[in-house]
Structure 1
Amino acid sequence: METFLALLYTFLWSSASVATKFGLKSGPPLMLAAIRFSLAGLILLAVNGLLHRGVWPKREQMGALAMIGFLNTTLYLGASFMALQVVPAGLFNLFVAVNPFFVLILEFTWLKKTIRRTQWWGFIVAVLGLGIGSWQALTHVHTPLWGLILVIGGQMAMALGSIYFHHVGIPGSTIIINIWQLIWGAIFLWPIALLVSFSKPIKWNGDWWGSLLWLVGAVSIGAMLLWFRLLRQGAAKASMWLLLTPIIGYVLGFLILHEALTFYDMIASILVMFGLFLANRRVLSQHGGLNTSSRTSSDT
């Protein structure tokens, strides 16, 4: 049962970029993102309230939650939605999978944290995989360079948000943290979305509603609840399943969006997965899973 739930979570998480692609056919990316975050945050807030759980964090925590929401939701996911206009879903999932390496490099650069030799080798292998995937997108799919820059910028914002999250050490329920970072992220994103999207109206058709309902229900709510259940079996063991996201992302892009699936895409995915495995080999041997020190509740 747990294996099935883990595979379901990995599928839902990998499907987010595919669902976003459908929504982008019918409306501007930042409007889709702002509506998604608002609905997901308000629905989770209402459900938590109906279950008589606490929904309000302490007043002194609001500033930290606002910063996390700005970095992890407004910047990271906002940039991601913009990038998915031109970046293949498979390649996007490849960059998401290596987010722990962005955290690692920032910690090494700013916090002077020591990086193990195996982590360096894992980073080099994963970057080689990203390079092959990016080269394939730029030369064969003719993906604009600005799309890749947005993906990288979004991942850097996510890495900063992860470091800040662990640095401030916000106590309390991870569900409450996720609710308020979604709400704050939407608050910051709405003015930008309205400013840049006024000239492109939304087509309230099946693609738009299907994308929005899937992103809110299946990803922001469903995948999050599955993730918290998996965490009960141990964070390291749970996150081992994230190694599958690059392959699933490429397969979903191929089957649903009819994106090209080439030999180079497979090589890129294998290199990224091997790099992640290599970097976390010590954790795998000790706990049976992948290190999740950089993962926060915003991932869903």
Structure 2
Amino acid sequence: MTQPASNAAALAGPATLSSRNLGGMLLLAVMWGLSIPITKLGLETVPPLMFTALRFLVAVPLLLILSSRQLRVPLKAVPSIVALGVMGISLGNVAQTFGVQGTSASVGTIVSATIPIFIVIFAALRLKQAVAPKHWFGLLAAFGGIALVALENGAGAADLSATTLSGVAWMLVSAIAIAFYYIWSAELTAQYGTLPVAAWNALAGLVAILPLAGWEMSQQPFEITVQTVWTAAYLGVMVTVAGLLLWLYILRVVPARVAAGVQYLQPVFGIAAAALLFGDRLGLMFGAGVILILGGLALAASNARPAAQVTAPQE
């Protein structure tokens, strides 16, 4: 799930893109792009709330260790940071996990790529950033793509890869919550620092999830397998923690408008992994939907500042 803002100087970045920096961007796109298919694997034997809790039981201690010398924040910041954690970590990631359970890995990956759309919308509303007609056209095109992707629901595929309307709805709820989280976190991290805010809101989100996960464990069967452990570890370490650090490095060494493009590479790797792992069918309607979504996202974010002021999603 998924970054805070950096300072203005870091966001400016140099004007050139070295092979090393490009490699870092591609690596991050792979790491985050694989998150939806890997979540799908983790849910095979563990229910959604429990799996989300496992992911953050891995990530939170690492974030606390990394930010151990910066954990002090003003008392007045605590309510906002806690609310941010409940919004982004609890609602955003729990909704995403339910969404992944109810969609094919390919559909889940593509719908999660709508997060930048909602970033544009919330930045316009909260940060008063202008949205040109071409940006709105991009939003409409991307939503049209979502409709096409949702219609191709994997008929004849295994239950694990079936897509339901409720699954798509959960993924959209997750995208909205995470986008709002990014806009809000941009304000908080500018005041109190990236790592302290990331660590404390992740802890607050985990505390909110744990009782729900405990209740779910008492109601549903589950099995902790090697696959459960490595998938939760991957999401906690590679997506939530290492992904954050690599994203912050990229923001320091390349222009933010270039770094934001990593968001649009994620679905490519996610779809490829989904087809390999689950045999997802990538028919003509799905392909048309992907083109509309990615084209709409690119148009919506063109010459727009929101993606440059917040971090890309942690899926």
What is the TM-score normalised by the length of structure 1? 0.88
Residue identity in the other structure for 1:77 = N
Of 11, 27, 35, 2:54 maps to 35
Compute the displacement of 1:222 (Å).
1.7
Inter-CA distance 297–261: structure 2 relative to 1 (3 Å threshold):
closer
Structure 2 residues without counterparts, runs of 5 or longer: 1-19
Partner Cα distance (1:130, 1:35) in 2: 30
Q: Quick check: 2:119–2:306 contact (8 Å CA) kept in 1?
A: no
**Which residue of structure 1 aligns with residue 193 of structure 2?**
173
What is the TM-score normalised by the length of structure 2? 0.84
Partner Cα distance (2:146, 2:312) in 1: 25
**Which range is displaced more, 59-68 or 155-164?**
155-164
Given the alignment of the two structures, is residue 130 of structure 1 paired with residue 146 of structure 2, yes or no?
yes
Of 110, 117, 133, 1:101 maps to 117
Secondary structure, counterpart of 1:26 in structure 2: coil
Compute the displacement of 1:172 (Å).
2.8
Q: Quick check: 1:239–1:291 contact (8 Å CA) kept in 2?
A: no
Given the alignment of the two structures, is residue 273 of structure 1 paired with residue 294 of structure 2, yes or no?
yes
Q: Once the two structures are superposed, what CA deviation does each residue of 1:69-88 show, in whole Å capped at 9, x if it has no partner?
A: 11111001001111211211
Partner Cα distance (2:258, 2:185) in 1: 21
Partner Cα distance (1:297, 1:266) in 2: 24
Q: Once the two structures are superposed, what CA deviation does each residue of 1:132-174 show, in whole Å capped at 9, x if it has no partner?
A: 1111127676522211121122222223323433466651321
Partner Cα distance (1:156, 1:294) in 2: 17
**Which residue of structure 2 aligns with residue 219 of structure 1?**
239
**Which residue of structure 1 aligns with residue 314 of structure 2?**
299
Given the alignment of the two structures, is residue 238 of structure 1 paired with residue 254 of structure 2, yes or no?
no
Structure 1 residues without counterparts, runs of 5 or longer: 284-289
Of 71, 75, 93, 2:91 maps to 75
Given the alignment of the two structures, is residue 258 of structure 1 paired with residue 279 of structure 2, yes or no?
yes
Compute the displacement of 1:259 (Å).
1.9
Percentage of matched positions with identical amino acids: 23
Compute the displacement of 1:96 (Å).
2.0
Secondary structure, counterpart of 1:198 in structure 2: helix
Partner Cα distance (1:295, 1:151) in 2: 20
Of 169, 193, 215, 1:149 maps to 169
Of 17, 22, 27, 2:36 maps to 17
Alignment coverage as a number of residue pairs:
291
Where do residues 110-125 of structure 1 align in structure 2 (5 Å cutoff)? Answer: 114-125=130-141
Secondary structure, counterpart of 1:84 in structure 2: helix
Compute the displacement of 1:7 (Å).
0.5
Inter-CA distance 191–293: structure 2 relative to 1 (3 Å threshold):
farther
**Which residue of structure 2 aligns with residue 286 of structure 1?**
none
Given the alignment of the two structures, is residue 158 of structure 1 paired with residue 178 of structure 2, yes or no?
yes
Q: Quick check: 1:38–1:182 contact (8 Å CA) kept in 2?
A: no
Partner Cα distance (1:160, 1:35) in 2: 24
Inter-CA distance 177–213: structure 2 relative to 1 (3 Å threshold):
same
Residue identity in the other structure for 1:133 = V
Secondary structure, counterpart of 1:176 in structure 2: helix
Partner Cα distance (1:206, 1:104) in 2: 40
